[in-house]
Amino acid sequence: MPNITRDAVKRHLDNGDSIVLVEALPAKYYNEAHLPGALQINHDEVAAKAPKLLPDKAARIVVYCANAECRNSAKAAGALAALGYTDVHEYVDGKADWRAAGLPTVGAA
């Protein structure tokens, strides 16, 4: 799965590019804080939720989770690829990296 950097994600968002962010963590963590515009699909719910939430299998999808040690994003990205999604990227450093850079999140936290 190709990786994507924080700067590239931010650039896509700033430019208004067509990009779908997917947080591969349980809803509890998504509700606390997530990247702006991100959808929540836990890594073990991809097969059940992706067809409805991600109808375009050619869309550019960026999957992330908590941090580089978290493997949820890799699992979710792999599951999306197995379902036929063709432009899936993993933001390996995830939410911790985004927040460490002082970038905004949405949620209760």
What are the boundaries of each domain within the chain?
A: 6-100
Residue in 104, 23, 27, 101 with CA at minimum distance from that of residue 64:
23
Type of residue found at 81: A
Tens of pLDDT, residue by residue over 42-76, are 999 999 999 999 999 999 999 999 999 999 999 99
List residues bridging with 23 in a β-sheet.
40, 64
Mean local confidence (pLDDT), 100-105: 96
Q: What is the pTM of this model?
A: 0.95
- pLDDT tens string 76-85: 999 999 999 9
**How many residues are given for the chain?**
109
For residue 104, pLDDT beyond 90: yes
On average, the pLDDT of the chain sits at: 95
CATH number of 6-100: 3.40.250.10
The tokens describing 78, both together, are 């792999």
